């Protein structure tokens, strides 16, 4: 996709006019248009019974409008867009939008709260239903409880126990059904129809898109002179709402969407010109694992996104590790993919001068990266950190053949200790060796400081031993 050239009329809506608008206490998206492309498939989506008369939904954001926004402002509190200490490392001014700090741990509260607020009185009395394994379920359950609206969530059997219990603790009616989310979704839609509960799709309901758009408004308020915004993409709801908000006010801001290469469903939709089912694998970014993006989300976002990027899993793990170590932030895989794209070097157009001295100042591009969720199981976090360490060359595996005579292994451990390398695991094998029977093969997992330290170790081993197998492929 090419970069969208703003039209003349849009160019005039620059930062100064945004400020002008705010002075009148009307923080504005004049109109947030969400095309309704599901209208013809009423049978599948319960909510079209409610909005099928509209061709376009027009939503006006107005901070003075207590009816629409007060709940969002009070409950989905502004989360900071703080400048990251990592900025100099990557040659750009990075501002993290810290959505993982929301009460239920993700941006999903924005859309959930707004969709619940926009229900008719009758719908509020009946309640709503949704299918989700995680963040959408948590957000709906919490805000449903807060607004006194009954929420039923259908969660697949693979949903983490912690999330199931949290939804229950917010008073939601939790039904575990389906081996995966698509089965849960079918069931939720059927049950919704049967019981008259409105089905709320977590990434495609127009009010969900609109609610997520408030993240874009906050970003513009907090980093008014931003140049680019990097947003993780699953079903497409977050990027659709946010891009719409930002491009309305600042058409010159680049919007970059990021997916895991294990689930590139938005990129596939762009290639096909419509949502299609993408080939998927398992991913650390489970929140982005939506094989087919939403139709409303796609139609709304496709012309607003300047570039889609897919990142590798190891960089997502590395991003999680960097956030823990350098930002003291616990962020889940889906939430860390924006930083992963930067670490993987996939946004060279945003890079400026990289600084070695972190106190130096430079005038680089200002990039907002949405850290949109923090719900990661502690056990998964442990495993991901190990993968991040491996990707960072701080956890190394190698196999070396040494003498089996007394002192052979002691020599090896001396090489390691002389270099300050610490051993995590070590074991040796004799039976399958084809060489000299007085040799033994030693498999090691060791901790090194960084890439250079690991390279130093590899050189030392190759210098001393004839047979060294370096790296993870051996195992």
Ligand X SMILES: Cc1ncc(COP(=O)(O)O)c(C=O)c1O
Shortest separation between residue 293's beta carbon and ligand X, angstroms: 7
Give the separation between CA 56 and CA 353, rounded to whole angstroms: 44
Give the separation between CA 223 and CA 373, rounded to whole angstroms: 20
Q: For ligand X, which is the closer residue by CB, 248 or 375?
A: 375
Shortest separation between residue 345's beta carbon and ligand X, angstroms: 22
Residue whose structure tokens are 């874009």: 216
Shortest separation between residue 52's beta carbon and ligand X, angstroms: 23
Shortest separation between residue 372's beta carbon and ligand X, angstroms: 4
Q: For ligand X, which is the closer residue by CB, 27 or 203?
A: 203
Shortest separation between residue 259's beta carbon and ligand X, angstroms: 9
Shortest separation between residue 369's beta carbon and ligand X, angstroms: 12
Q: For ligand X, which is the closer residue by CB, 219 or 239?
A: 239
Give the separation between CA 293 and CA 204, rounded to whole angstroms: 8
**DSSP assignment of 341-391, as one string?**
HHHTT--GGG-----SSTT------EEEEEE-B----HHHHHHHHHHHHHH
Shortest separation between residue 315's beta carbon and ligand X, angstroms: 16
Phi, psi of 137, rounded to the nearest 5 degrees: -60, -45
Query: Quick one: which of 384, 383, 430, 388 has its CA closest to 409?
Result: 430
Q: For ligand X, which is the closer residue by CB, 88 or 287?
A: 287
Q: For ligand X, which is the closer residue by CB, 213 or 235?
A: 235
Q: From the centroid of its chain, how far is CA 266?
A: 14
Shortest separation between residue 238's beta carbon and ligand X, angstroms: 4
> By beta-carbon distance, which residue lies closest to ligand X?
373
Specify whether the CB–CB gap between 297 and 279 falls below 8 A: no
**What is the dihedral sign for C-alpha 15, 16, 17, 20?**
positive
Shortest separation between residue 83's beta carbon and ligand X, angstroms: 21
Which parts of this chain interact with ligand X (CB under 6 A)?
A: 106, 135, 203, 232-239, 287-288, 290, 332, 334-335, 372-373
Specify whether the CB–CB gap between 213 and 297 falls below 8 A: no
Query: What is the DSSP-derived secondary structure letter of residue 6?
Result: P
Shortest separation between residue 47's beta carbon and ligand X, angstroms: 16
Q: For ligand X, which is the closer residue by CB, 295 or 454?
A: 295
Would you state the structure tokens that stand for residue 475, as one six-digit string? 């195992």
The residues near 354 (Cβ < 8 Å, ≥ 6 apart) are 88, 89, 90, 91
The residues near 58 (Cβ < 8 Å, ≥ 6 apart) are 31, 32, 33
Q: For ligand X, which is the closer residue by CB, 233 or 369?
A: 233
Would you state the structure tokens that stand for residue 273, as one six-digit string? 């010109």
Query: What is the DSSP-derived secondary structure letter of residue 142?
Result: H
Q: How many CA atoms lie within 13 A of 71 on its CB side?
A: 17
Pairing of strands 128-131, 198-199: parallel
Distance from the first to the final alpha carbon of the chain = 40
Q: For ligand X, which is the closer residue by CB, 110 or 428?
A: 110
Q: For ligand X, which is the closer residue by CB, 106 or 310?
A: 106
Query: What is the DSSP-derived secondary structure letter of residue 3?
Result: P
Would you state the structure tokens that stand for residue 412, as one six-digit string? 């090896």
Q: For ligand X, which is the closer residue by CB, 159 or 402?
A: 159
Residue whose structure tokens are 């809506």: 13
Query: Quick one: which of 237, 175, 167, 230 has its CA closest to 201?
Result: 237
Shortest separation between residue 178's beta carbon and ligand X, angstroms: 17
Q: For ligand X, which is the closer residue by CB, 238 or 269?
A: 238
């Amino acid at each position: 996709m090419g970069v969208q050239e703003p039209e003349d009329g849009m160019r005039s809506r620059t930062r100064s006019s945004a400020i002008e608008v705010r002075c009148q206490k009307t923080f504005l998206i004049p109109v947030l248009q969400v095309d309704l492309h599901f209208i013809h498939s009423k049978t599948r989506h319960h909510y079209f019974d409610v909005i099928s008369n509209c061709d376009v939904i027009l939503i006006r954001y107005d901070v003075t409008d207590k009816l629409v926004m007060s709940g969002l402002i009070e409950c989905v509190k502004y989360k900071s867009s703080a400048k990251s200490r990592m900025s100099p490392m990557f040659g750009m001014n990075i501002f993290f939008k810290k959505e993982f700090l929301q009460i239920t741990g993700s941006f999903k509260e924005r859309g959930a709260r707004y969709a619940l607020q926009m229900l008719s009185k009758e719908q509020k009395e009946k309640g709503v239903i949704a299918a989700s394994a995680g963040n959408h379920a948590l957000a709906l359950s919490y805000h449903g409880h807060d607004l006194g609206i009954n929420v039923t969530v259908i969660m697949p059997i693979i949903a983490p126990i912690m999330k199931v219990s949290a939804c229950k603790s917010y008073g939601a009616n939790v039904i575990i059904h389906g081996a995966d989310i698509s089965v849960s979704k079918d069931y939720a839609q059927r049950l919704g129809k049967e019981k008259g509960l409105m089905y709320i799709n977590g990434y495609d309901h127009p009010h969900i898109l609109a609610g997520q758009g408030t993240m874009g408004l906050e970003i513009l308020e907090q980093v008014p002179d931003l140049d680019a915004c990097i947003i993780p993409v699953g079903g497409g709801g977050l990027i659709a709402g946010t891009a719409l908000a930002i491009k309305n006010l600042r058409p010159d801001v680049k919007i970059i969407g990021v997916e895991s290469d294990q689930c590139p469903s938005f990129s596939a939709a762009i290639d096909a010109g419509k949502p299609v089912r993408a080939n998927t694998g398992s991913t650390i970014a489970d929140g982005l694992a939506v094989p087919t993006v939403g139709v409303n989300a796609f139609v709304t976002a496709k012309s607003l996104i300047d570039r889609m990027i897919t990142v590798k899993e190891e960089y997502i793990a590395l991003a999680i590790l960097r956030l823990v170590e350098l930002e003291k932030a616990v962020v889940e895989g889906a939430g860390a993919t924006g930083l992963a794209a930067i670490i993987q070097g996939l946004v060279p157009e945003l890079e400026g001068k990289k600084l070695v001295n972190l106190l130096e100042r430079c005038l680089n591009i200002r990039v907002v990266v949405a850290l949109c969720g923090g719900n990661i199981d502690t056990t998964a976090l442990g495993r991901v950190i190990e993968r991040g360490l491996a990707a960072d060359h701080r956890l190394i595996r190698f196999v070396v053949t040494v003498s089996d005579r007394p002192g052979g292994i002691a020599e090896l451990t001396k090489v390691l200790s002389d270099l300050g390398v610490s051993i995590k695991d070590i074991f040796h094998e004799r039976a399958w060796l084809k060489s000299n029977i007085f040799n033994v093969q030693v498999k090691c997992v060791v901790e090194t400081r960084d890439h250079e330290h690991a390279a130093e170790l590899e050189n030392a081993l190759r210098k001393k031993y004839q047979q060294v197998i370096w790296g993870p492929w051996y195992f």
